[in-house]
Amino acid sequence: MNYDWIIGLKSELFTTLIIVVLLLIKLGKGMRNGSLLQITQLLLLVNLALAFGWNGNGFLFGNMFQTSQLFGFEKAILIAGVYLLVLVNHQWLEKQEHLPEFLVLMLSALLGMQTMISAGNFLMLYLSLELATIPVAAMANFDLDKKRSSEAAMKMILSSALSSGILLMGISLLYGATGTIGFEALPQALKADNGLQLLSLVMIFAAFAFKLSAVPFHLWTADVYEGSPMPVTAFLSVVSKGAVAFVLTSTFYRAFQPMFETWYQLLVIIGLITIIIGNLFAIRQDNIKRMLAFSSIAQVGFVLIGISANSPAGLASVIYFVLIYVFSNIAAFGVAAVIAAQTGSEQISDYKGLYTKNKLLTWVMALALFSLAGIPPTAGFFGKFFLLTAGAVRADFWLVIIAALNMMVSLYYYLRVVRNMFNTETAQPTITIPVTVKLGLYLCVAGILITGIAGWIYDYIAMLNR
């Protein structure tokens, strides 16, 4: 009997197994939240190890599901992101009355993202995208006693419904114009000058842009981020966006290759506008979650420019950047979560004097923000360098200049947080950091340093794509 399908589906099968275990615990006698979190962390580590190993190339279910070493690595990045989120948000999770339900929702969304990465046609992609989206809307409403959490969930549902409708319409038009929705068959059926096919391409890109919060489809982002609990905001900002960036790259490179000239211009224009708008709005924010929300919008612009390269270097740079982004952004959100849990404040102005009694939190936040800003020699600098190098392959040096100028603009709002933390005029109370949260922050710091220093990581990602 052939067991190759088990190897191809191992990440999805193990994520499903974790969900089943959590459901059985919930239906049984229950368990203390601390023990439940330990079991979940252990199972996520096993899933992470499985995702890294025994990956091969192949198709399942009539080419609806594709496996490869590269897809396995992308899934491993997402699993690592969820594992780190569970660690750094340990305080918030341990206090939740409905912790099993929250973990089941988060892992269901992860399962949707895993199948989305391996989708071989637009039907599988659409179903997976819905599975990745609907649980997150429920997670956004998990601060049950806060009105703004309910508002965030409602806005998330409405924006998701709109993007879902646009995606369905785009897929329908594509099928009507070509007679297929399979990624392998589409390049032979597409014509660059077909109006109906161009319209379907624009609508499908618009749906992805909603999920990525690219301008002008970003309007829901700041309100949803601010109203959602901190772990959900981090999940949306890091894991969800990382998954959509992987899928957008894969879909355009495989299915829409004959229409490259069209989507190149689309990505470059939207990418630059997204960087500029994201930075300008981030400057005005005093709430740390809103600031990180708009900074994440600006980061998406860099990703779009990297994708526009339409080359193995472009694909490798996007994956490398998402890997760095996972460590950097989760570290920033982790520190913000610890401070919010013990002081009740999410305002940047309240970070003044943090260094006086909380040196670990200050240095972790500073390193994370330096990486997000792209300050050399942090990992974020190399991530943006590879994205821009890949995107400027056509010698569009004006593109690099505009992006570089915006990196300087972003320094203002990132360094404003750092300046406040090292302000010695205002002292902060000592903040207790649980051991599990410390472990998560240390892993994020190690990730930022290692991905920045070890050049072989980028080479390894590039090798997986050959």
Query: From CA 100, how far away is CA 458, in angstroms rounded?
Result: 37
Count CB-CB contacts under 10 A for residue 172: 14
3-state secondary structure of 287: strand
The angle at the Cα of 395, spanning 394 to 399, to the nearest 5 degrees, equals 100
Estimate to the nearest angstrom the gap between the alpha carbon of 45 and the chain centroid: 19
Question: Distance (Å, rounded) from C-alpha 157 to C-alpha 219?
Answer: 14
Q: What is the pTM of this model?
A: 0.93
- Residue 344: predicted pLDDT: 80
Cβ-Cβ contacts under 8 Å for 26 (sequence gap 6 or more): 100, 101, 104
* Cα–Cα distance, 239 to 76 (Å, whole number): 11
For residues 411 and 381, what is the distance between their CA atoms, to the nearest angstrom?
12
Q: Hey, which residues does 182 pair with through a beta bridge?
A: 121
pLDDT tens, position by position, 118-166: 998 999 999 999 999 999 989 998 887 788 888 888 988 998 899 999 9
Q: What is the Cα–Cα distance from 434 to 232, expressed in whole angstroms?
A: 20
- DSSP structural state of residue 65: E
pLDDT for the residue numbered 444: 95
Q: What is residue 449's predicted lDDT score, i.e. its pLDDT? A: 92
pLDDT reported for residue 1:
55
One digit per residue, the tens of pLDDT, for the chain of length 466 reads 567 777 778 899 999 999 999 999 988 877 898 899 999 999 999 999 988 877 778 888 888 888 888 999 999 999 999 999 999 999 889 988 889 999 999 999 999 999 999 998 999 999 999 999 999 989 998 887 788 888 888 988 998 899 999 999 999 999 999 988 988 888 888 887 788 989 999 999 999 999 898 988 888 888 888 888 989 999 998 999 999 999 999 999 988 888 888 888 899 899 999 999 999 999 888 888 888 888 999 999 999 999 988 888 889 999 999 999 999 999 999 999 999 888 888 888 888 888 888 889 999 999 999 999 888 888 888 888 888 888 777 667 788 888 888 888 888 899 999 998 887 777 677 888 889 999 999 999 999 999 988 878 888 898 887 7
The pLDDT, as a whole number, for residue 427 is 67
d(CA 202, CA 183): 17
d(CA 151, CA 141): 8
pLDDT at 18: 95
Distance CA(275)–CA(345), nearest Å, equals 28
Integer Cα distance of 128 and 364 in angstroms: 35
Cβ-in-10-Å burial (0-12, 13-18, 19+) of 430 comes to exposed
Residues linked to residue 66 through DSSP beta bridges, in sequence order: 59
Task: Please choose, from the candidates 357, 351, 356, the residue with its C-alpha nearest in 3D space to the C-alpha of residue 369.
Answer: 351
216 preceded by a cis bond (ω within 30 of 0): yes
The structure tokens listed for 124 are: 């599988």
Residue 229 exposed, middle or buried by CB count within 10 Å (0-12, 13-18, 19+): buried
